[in-house]
Amino acid sequence: QASQEELKAAYRRLCMLYHPDKHRDPELKSQAERLFNLVHQAYEVLSDPQTRAIYDIYGRRGLEMEGWEVVERKRTAAEIREEFERLQREREERRLQQRTNPKGTISVGIDATDLFDRYDEEYEDVPGSSFPQIEINKMHISQSIEAPLTSTDTAILSGNLSTQNGNGGGSINLALRRVTSAKGWGELEFGAGDLHGPLFGLKIFRNLTPRCFITTNCALQFSSRGVRPGLTTVLARNLDKNTMGYLQWRWGIQSAMNTSIVRDTKTSHFTLAMQLGIPHSFMMVSYQHKFQDEDQTRVKGSLKVGFFGTIVEYGAERKISRHSVLGATVSVGVPQGVSLKIKLNRASQTYFFPVHLTDQLLPSAVFYATVGPLVIYFAMHRLVIKPYLRAQKERELEKQRESTASDILQKKQEAEAAVRLMQESVRRIIEAEEARMGLIVVNAWYGKFVNDNSRKNEKVKVIDVTVPLQCLVKDSKLILTEASKAGLPGFYDPCVGEEKSLKVLYQFRGVLHQVMSADNEALRIPKQSHRIDADG
């Protein structure tokens, strides 16, 4: 947010500090020349509205993007962002042939009804009948990949295999999608399988208005019983910023009309739906609460009532690693019984394990389906997941340190050179501040502090930044903005990838003050709240 006047003032100040002519020592003169050139390069970027907008939005990588030299000089950051995204798209198009988007699902159905619905009297003489019989009664595997052909054409190949109680089958599908314009696309689908005959389909998507779109899917399924046509149309509209309304009409084997309202916000997801159709008609309401924590925890519940009965579901999901989300849902229904559904999402792969516990509404089944997964999760999280993530983080930090070692060494040398060049200026600033009983930095440290007893084995990694901070004092004030302090003159990062803080002990009007600030936290001193109590 700095104005051009503030930029010029900072530039003049740093030029005076680092100007080579101010230093007679050959080594200091050489270091001053290097830092002076860096300051000049930074000012060239920030004093130009176009390059400053690029840097503010995208940093160094934006300035290094090829193609800016042919771009007319834009005035607004929005236009700069649009141009940058266009250049990115052009670069992505050159790599289209190297990209795919694999997606897969593996579902394993488990019958565990013998745990709760046992016939002890009838089978008590059968060998091995003392142990509950748990078996896999169905499986489903599906996989798809996308192969971009051009910037507008994509081929999608998918297949699936299913088996249930010893009977199974599979199918394979090929779809060709073309983006016709910014408002829509069309898709042709061809499929074949051993349970059904050939399939031909056409799918069309179209934006009718900026807030409304329609999707139509036509299909012809060939079988020994003849040709079975099908048609599905979905009309959707943005009701407000976070709410969508859907109308669906399906004609064919299972004809139905469906309407739903979906509201999705940062903290919640709500769905209300109603369907009239053959063979199923129902009403459904569901709610999901999104906790704003690091693990992205979500709890959900739903109620579904229809001709098939009543189903109540509740569950939760949580992020267990960077690319994995684990969830569990308990389903209690009449006449469906009690089931536990476990789902693991790993990147674009989904693993689903529905466990059918009982055909009856047994309180014991509901209790164990609810408590069992919680106990297992917290035990696994404490004994397996947390140690694994901790070790993984250490490996990544070590790798990051190794990859940035040379860059950090250069930054350290630049910071040490800057501190040596600041000595004379700092001496004058201290003399001026002492004369007016102003702000004097007694000691300042930057880096990783260990104050928690549980982390006492960790190594403290800090650097002395007393001189650089005193050099930033102007008119008995020190103001730091919301940005990493590692970029300040005379600073560098002593512990890459770890949390850092700035601790300052300073004197103002002859009284000692002390403050500790997070790395990206803004800091303004002096402040009355920083004063050290003389009685303490």
Q: What would the pLDDT profile of 310-336 be if each residue is shown by its tens digit?
A: 999 999 999 888 788 999 999 999 988
pLDDT for residue 108? 95
**Structural domains of the chain ordered from first start:** 4-62 (1.10.287.110), 404-530 (no CATH)
Residue 286 burial (CB count, 10 A): 16
Residues 23, 35, 440, 463, Cα dihedral to 10° = -120
CA 113 to chain centre: 39
- List residues bridging with 255 in a β-sheet: none
Tens-digit pLDDT profile for residues 88-126: 666 665 555 446 678 899 999 999 988 887 655 555 555
pLDDT for residue 90? 65
Tell me which residue of 391, 412, 383 sits closest to 496, measured CA to CA.
412
355: phi then psi, degrees, rounded to nearest 5:
-115, 115
Tell me which residue of 465, 453, 455, 445 sits closest to 516, measured CA to CA.
445
- Neighbour-count burial of 197, counting CB atoms closer than 10 A to its CB (0-12 exposed, 13-18 middle, 19+ buried): middle
Take residue 364 and report the two structure tokens written for it.
């014991």
Sign of the alpha-carbon dihedral angle for 31, 37, 41, 44:
positive
Distance CA 71, CA 67 (A): 7
Sign of the alpha-carbon dihedral angle for 61, 64, 67, 72:
positive
pTM: 0.63
Residue 202 burial (CB count, 10 A): 13
Take residue 336 and report the two structure tokens written for it.
């469906």
End-to-end CA distance of the chain: 40
- For residue 17, the one-letter residue type is L
DSSP string, 463-507: EE-HHHHHHT-BTTBEEE-SS-GGGSTT---SSTTS--EEEEEEE
pLDDT for residue 27? 77
Sign of the alpha-carbon dihedral angle for 273, 221, 215, 142:
positive
CA 470 to chain centre: 39
Residue recorded with tokens 């903290």: 267
Distance CA 287, CA 276 (A): 22
- List residues bridging with 74 in a β-sheet: none
Distance CA 280, CA 273 (A): 13
CB 468 within 8 A of CB 489: yes
CA atoms within 13 A on the CB side of 18: 24
Q: Which residues of the chain, if any, have pLDDT below 70?
A: 57-100, 118-130, 451-460, 534-536
Helices (H), 48-159: 49-58, 60-63, 77-93, 120-123
CA 173 to chain centre: 32
Is the bond leading into 526 cis (omega within 30 degrees of zero)?
yes
pLDDT for residue 118? 66
3-state secondary structure 218-266: EEEEEECCEEEEEEEEEEEEECCCCEEEEEEEEECCCCEEEEEEEEECC
Distance CA 35, CA 421 (A): 10
Q: Write the DSSP symbol of residue 519.
A: T
